[in-house]
Chains A and B, each alone.
Chain A
Amino acid sequence: MTDFRDAVGPYFGDFGGRFVPEALIAALDDLATAWDKLKDDPTFIERLAALHRDYTGRPSPITEVPRFAEHAGGVRVFLKREDLNHTGSHKINNVLGQALLTQQVGKTRVIAETGAGQHGVATATAAALFGLDCTIYMGEEDTRRQALNVARMRLLGAEVIPVTAGSRTLKDAINEAFRDWVANVETTNYVFGTAAGPHPFPALVRDLQKIIGEEAREQLTERIGRLPDAVVACVGGGSNAIGIFTAFLDDADVRLIGCEAAGDGVETGRHAATIGAGSPGVLHGAKTYLLQDEDGQTIESHSISAGLDYPGVGPEHSWLASIGRAEYRPVTDAEAMEAFRLLTRTEGIMPAIESAHALAGAMTLGRELVAAGADPAETVLLVSLSGRGDKDVETAAEWFGLVDSGSAGGQDEGGSTTA
């Protein structure tokens, strides 16, 4: 098999590139050059490793979840526990590296976009740790959905700017962050949150997230003496997925499955299944799959998970899909929430709703494999549990009808109070 792992950009097959204003090219060039040097610099590698060990809490463990796995055809399911990282998700892996890179290029301020708030919280955390000024752009709609994360970012010292343009969600936060960056590029580094955007971000973020798969590959090999049959991860922009996939890209026998948010169902048009239902184009600086209408206008995505609610995807995923190395499957809100409930009830682990999409994908895959004749005891799935569900408790409580109707925010069902 080709050495997929060594793909460095700016192009992944036909995807990637730098479709950005000329004003940003110098900064992107600086970043690419600095990263090329830094990633092999022993001092940097040691600093980052120390942060991972002493601050994030790496390596994150892998956990076998047999009670949950009964719902996946009885195959063996292992979770890579990124939910146990400091700040609660895989996002911290990326931002610590990019914060060190910011120092390296001599900048004092970081900006970031955030959807669910996980990347914003992680960036604000790294900014606090490194003493950097920090501004976070977040769609106004998302600031409402994730009010607690907004408070966390502000407590950490970040300025959170609600974006009121466009659909008021993640894609508009990204536009606004790019505008800020164009205007302030001399002092400011853009800490991009996912493996999308213009080169070098897809490769840079992948390089910083590939630790997920590298650890898991070693841990699983040590535990069961072989590689998994499939690796399953959720895909919004796709950073946790590319992070866990990369270590297995050159292992032809390991299936790689990306789970995209199908919202109400791909057929309803209300979804975020970018690869499954999108088409190639240019969005946020890269040629990649995106949700677009026949005029090339971006179509708004929909998902119960703010973290997957994005109409684009990282270009490396577009490439892996186009050459058939990875498979991308839709998972609806309902399927994800059922997986959320099952993992919580059977294992006492409450996943982020993003990660619940991967769990749902694993349930389907496990049943498929067993139905096709696989021996459950000999079938191993590795799932990226990219984050924990604390931030999603309100959404889940609402979904499962656990909110008292008489409590604050309950609906007035009488309809007779208006005079």
Chain B
Amino acid sequence: MTGSRTAATIDAARAEGRAALVVYLPVGYPDVDGSIAAARAAVEAGADIVELGLPYSDPGMDGAVNQEAMQAALAGGTRTADVLRAVREVAETGAPTLVMTYYNPVLRYGVDRFATDLVAAGGAGLITPDLIPDEAGEWIAAADAHDLDKVFLVAPSSTTERLHLTTAASRGFVYAASTMGVTGARASVGPKAEALVAATRAAGAERVCVGLGVSTGAQAAEVASYADGVIVGSALVRTLIRSDGDRDAALEDLRRLIGELAEGVRSGRPVTSGGPAR
């Protein structure tokens, strides 16, 4: 069994004295090729790890921006097979590429078949917002067999017992939801996020990335001061939503925001720290 490339990327960032920048973009928005172009542009502009969203009809964990993008992707005919193609083309950049997906599309595709095809496409693993380790036996077995990352979520409401359970089940990193809520940009990242990261580390997690609500370089810097990675999603999706349909301008806006966020994760920690504060 080889090590997790996602974990290695986070460790490399840590060696540079910074947090990793993890970006989320839904496949199929504005269309499949457009989403691939956006994800590749994000890597060029400074993203370390990519999460590709598999569009789903009932995304209960997502706020309005991501849900609208998913609905548009489905209306445009995006299929699970398109997501695997997107993984292949984005993974070519060298950035670890994870799929963020609700469980039913994976179950329907066949859990082991999905794992097999994800590996073949060069994908790193799955992030599963509606799948807790307690229910994930089939996925955990497939991921372990195929050397894939299993990114489970913890929340401010997680008990110590559940932090241990989730940390033990995770591979790559543990996704700390900064706030009790759904995806979407917020004026401030939840005050509970820092404590949650500390508690998750205390439960044994080696790498904890924080998502939900991060949209600016300043917020990225704040989160980077205590987390191993900063996850940004809907703020990026928003740059792609343009009434004039000008895709070049959208990609330019996306690159600019990624640049700001990449700078944020680099300014979050004093350079002298020389590594993670534990």
Given the known interface contacts A17-B135, A21-B60, A22-B132, the answer about A182 and B181 at a Cβ–Cβ threshold of 8 Å is yes
In the complex, chain A residues 254-296 whose Cβ is within 8 Å of any chain B Cβ: 281-285, 292, 294-296
**CA of A404 to CA of B235, assembled, Å:** 53
Category for how many chain A residues contact B:
20 to 34
Q: Which residues does chain B contribute within 8 Å of A185, judged by CB atoms?
A: 157, 180
How near does chain A come to B271, taking the closest CB pair, in angstroms? 34
Please judge, given known A-B contacts A22-B158, A23-B156, whether A175 and B134 are in contact too, CB under 8 Å: no
Stretch of B18-26, B31-39, B99-107, B203-211 that contacts chain A: B99-107
B contact residues, total (Cβ < 8 Å): 42
Which residue of chain A lies nearest to B64 when distances are taken between CB atoms in the complex? A165
Binds A, one of B1-9, B147-155, B252-260, B262-270: B147-155
With A165-B67, A165-B71, A295-B105 as given contacts, are A20 and B130 in contact (CB-CB < 8 Å)? Answer: yes
B67 touches A297 (CB 8 A): no
Is A294 touching B108 in the complex (CB atoms < 8 A)? yes
Q: How far is the CA of A171 from the CA of B74 in the complex (A)?
A: 17
Decide if B58 is an interface residue (CB 8 Å cutoff): yes
Contact between chains at B158 and A166 (CB < 8 Å): no
Is B57 a contact of A166 with CB atoms below 8 Å?
yes
By the criterion CB–CB under 8 Å, are B108 and A292 in contact?
yes
Bound state CA distance, A285 and B130, in angstroms?
8
Closest to A281 in B: B104
In the complex, residue of chain B having the shortest beta-carbon distance to the beta carbon of A176: B60
CB distance from A382 to the nearest CB of B (A): 35
Chain A contacts with B in 147-187, Cβ cutoff 8 A: 165-166, 171-172, 175, 178-179, 182-186
* Residues of chain A within 8 A of B166, CB atoms compared: 22
Chain B residues with CB below 8 A from A295, complex form? 79-80, 105, 108-109
The interface centre, meaning the residue of A19, A281, A283 with most chain B CB atoms within 10 A of its CB, is A19
Is A282 a contact partner of B57 (Cβ separation < 8 A)? Answer: no
Residues of B within 8 A of A (CB): 56-61, 63-64, 67-68, 71, 74, 79-80, 102-109, 129-132, 134-135, 152-159, 162, 166, 177, 180-182
Chain A residues within 8 Å of B135, by CB: 17-19
Whole-angstrom distance from the CB of A126 to the nearest CB of chain B? 25
Contact A25 B180 (CB under 8 A): no
Q: Which residues of B contact A175 (CB under 8 A)?
A: 58-60
* Interface of A toward B, CB cutoff 8 Å: 17-27, 165-166, 171-172, 175, 178-179, 182-186, 281-285, 292, 294-298
Closest to B181 in A: A183
> Which single member of A171, A184, A281 contacts B107 (CB below 8 Å)?
A281
> Which chain A residue lies CB-closest to B135?
A17
Assess the A21–B61 pair: CB atoms within 8 A.
yes
On whether the beta carbons of B107 and A282 are closer than 8 Å, the reply is yes
Distance in angstroms from B15 CB to nearest chain A CB is 30
A172 to B56, CA, bound (A): 13
Interface CB pairs A-B, < 8 A, 26 = A20-B130, A21-B129, A22-B153, A22-B155, A22-B166, A23-B153, A23-B157, A25-B162, A26-B155, A26-B162, A165-B68, A166-B67, A175-B58, A175-B59, A175-B60, A179-B181, A182-B61, A183-B180, A185-B180, A281-B108, A282-B104, A295-B108, A296-B104, A296-B108, A297-B74, A298-B104
A25 touching B107 by the CB < 8 A rule? Answer: no
Chain B positions within 8 Å of A179 at CB level: 60, 63, 181-182
Instruction: Give chain A residues whose Cβ lies under 8 Å from the Cβ of B68.
Output: 165
A22 and B71 in contact (CB under 8 A), knowing A185-B157, A185-B180?
A: no
